[in-house]
């Protein structure tokens, strides 16, 4: 009787295996949403405190409607080599910032008056202008919000933060970890004037790096850029093999979550992950306090065939690793290291004796030369005598000065 095996994920029956299986994504999304809803109800029943922020007219699961859902993508190799302060954008079908009651804070380049006039212009969409409750320049942000308390207060006053892409790389140093450790990181938008592309295949020209930071796009163009930023999810890639991206909220349906997951995965493989699907190891979906549910798992743990080592080469590398920490022995099997040390010590002792003899002869030559200059000569006499027991002979050297007279 054949044994039954249950796989964690399912792959598509036909076509390339490097694609998502729609039924598997729907299954994981529905399971995750049900778990979040049941946990919210359980906490509400077991909790002894009342949530004062919840509305009385709302349903029992109102507190869990805004919990984010994360897509966790693990790669086989590092996605990038260095940290990027400017996040990327991936368009999704169901926006995460579509709530009409959410407030927006717009951080702009100096001076801020031009941007306030643009938002107050009649051609700017009134519903979007009503959501933008504050426009502040980077100079005032740097001057007013220096303490952690003031930054936390600014963070709590608004739901979404937008920033001009010309100053987005300066904000981490100004706003600090109060903003960048959560999900309210400033979203970059392009507010400088540019010419719309006629061909979608062409890349948009980069913003000008001139010193004139007062240039600003027309109101209609700024509104389109803000709406586009709100309808995208943002990719913040670091030098690691794993990245997490928001793909939905706990108030979404499984179909909405599945649509966003497919859009994000396609955007990552086409633009951000090197080698695309070949470099993806696994894809999971999770909530803030839940386990990760697998959606797609790779069958191969390598990117290219050249990354695989043959059996002989692998054994050779293992042998080198084992021998790396061991002491080397002499070819004849003996301990050659000790013999070399002994020979070196003998050579050092012989050399020391030779140098002592040389110094002794040099001193004698100096004394003899000094005596010739003074008119005296030093004569050495060696006398051999016996010790009292008569068994050992003793040699002694005596020095005597002889006065020499010139002829």
Pairwise CA distance, residues 296 & 22, whole Å = 11
User: Three-state DSSP class for 281?
Assistant: strand
User: Three-state DSSP class for 234?
Assistant: strand
pLDDT band at 47 (very low <50, low <70, confident <90, very high): confident
Decide: 296 and 9 in contact? Cβ < 8 Å.
Answer: yes
pLDDT band at 98 (very low <50, low <70, confident <90, very high): confident
Tens of pLDDT, residue by residue over 331-389, are: 555 555 566 666 666 666 677 788 788 888 888 888 888 877 766 555 555 555 555 55
Pairwise CA distance, residues 269 & 263, whole Å = 10
Pairwise CA distance, residues 320 & 245, whole Å = 42
| pTM for the model | 0.66
Pick from 161-175, 247-261, 292-306, 374-388: least confident:
374-388
38: tokens are: 């049941």
The average confidence (pLDDT) of the chain is: 78
Q: What pLDDT does residue 58 have?
A: 45
pLDDT band at 45 (very low <50, low <70, confident <90, very high): confident
What burial letters (b/e) apply to 247-256, b meaning 16+ CB within 10 Å? bbbbbbebeb
Q: What pLDDT does residue 248 have?
A: 92
Pairwise CA distance, residues 143 & 92, whole Å = 36
- If residue 297 lies in a helix (H) or strand (E), which one and from where to where? strand 293-297
Longest distance between any two alpha carbons in the chain, whole Å: 137
Handedness of CA 226, 232, 233, 234 (dihedral sign): negative
pLDDT at 299 over 60: yes
Helices within 176-218 (DSSP H only): 177-180
Q: What pLDDT does residue 60 have?
A: 41
Mean predicted confidence (pLDDT) in 191-199: 69
Higher pLDDT, 255 or 61: 255
Q: What pLDDT does residue 223 have?
A: 92
Q: What pLDDT does residue 43 have?
A: 85
pLDDT at 285 over 90: yes
Ramachandran bin of 296, using left for φ above 0, alpha for ψ from -120 to 50, beta for the remaining angles: beta
Tens of pLDDT, residue by residue over 222-246, are: 999 999 999 999 898 888 888 999 9
pLDDT band at 72 (very low <50, low <70, confident <90, very high): very high
Looking at residue 36, the DSSP 8-state letter turns out to be H
> What are the beta bridge partners of residue 286?
70
Pick from 129-133, 150-154, 204-208: least confident:
204-208
238: tokens are: 């670091």
Mean predicted confidence (pLDDT) in 275-294: 90
Looking at the chain, the whole-number percentage of residues with pLDDT higher than 70 is 68
Q: What pLDDT does residue 263 have?
A: 94
């Amino acid at each position: 009787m054949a044994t039954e095996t249950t796989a964690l994920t399912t792959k598509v029956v036909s076509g390339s295996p490097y694609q998502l299986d729609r039924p598997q994504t729907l299954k994981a999304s529905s399971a995750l949403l049900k778990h979040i809803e049941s946990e919210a109800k359980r906490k509400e029943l077991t909790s002894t405190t009342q949530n004062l922020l919840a509305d009385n007219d709302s349903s029992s699961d109102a507190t869990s409607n805004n919990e984010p859902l994360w897509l966790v993508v693990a790669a086989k190799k590092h996605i990038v080599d260095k940290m990027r302060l400017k996040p990327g954008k991936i368009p999704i079908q169901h926006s995460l910032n579509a709530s009409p009651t959410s407030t927006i804070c717009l951080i702009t380049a100096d001076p801020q008056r031009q941007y306030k006039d643009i938002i107050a212009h009649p051609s700017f969409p009134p519903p979007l202008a009503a959501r933008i409750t504050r426009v502040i320049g980077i100079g005032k942000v740097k001057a007013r919000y220096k303490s952690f308390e003031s930054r936390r207060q600014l963070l709590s006053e608004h739901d979404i933060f937008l920033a001009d892409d010309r100053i987005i790389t300066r904000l981490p140093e100004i706003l600090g970890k109060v903003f960048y450790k959560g999900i309210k990181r400033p979203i970059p938008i392009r507010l400088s004037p540019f010419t719309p592309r006629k061909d979608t295949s062409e890349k948009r020209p980069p913003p000008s790096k001139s010193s004139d930071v007062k240039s600003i796009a027309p109101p209609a163009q700024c509104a389109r850029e803000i709406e586009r930023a709100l309808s995208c999810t943002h990719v913040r890639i670091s030098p690691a093999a794993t990245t997490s991206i928001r793909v939905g909220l706990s108030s979404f349906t499984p179909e909405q979550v599945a649509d966003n997951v497919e859009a994000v995965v396609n955007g990552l493989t086409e633009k951000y992950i090197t080698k695309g699907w070949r470099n993806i190891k696994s894809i999971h979906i999770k909530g803030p306090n839940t386990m990760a549910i697998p959606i797609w798992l790779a069958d191969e743990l390598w990117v290219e065939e050249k990354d695989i080592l043959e059996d002989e080469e692998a054994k050779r590398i293992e042998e080198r690793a084992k021998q790396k920490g061991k002491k080397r022995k002499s070819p004849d099997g003996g301990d050659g290291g000790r013999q070399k040390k002994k020979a070196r010590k003998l050579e050092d002792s012989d050399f020391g004796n030779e140098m002592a003899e040389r110094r002794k002869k040099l001193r004698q030559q100096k004394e003899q030369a000094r005596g010739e200059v003074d008119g005296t000569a030093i004569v050495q006499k060696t006398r051999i005598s016996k010790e009292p027991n008569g068994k050992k002979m003793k040699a002694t050297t005596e020095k005597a000065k002889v006065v020499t007279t010139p002829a």
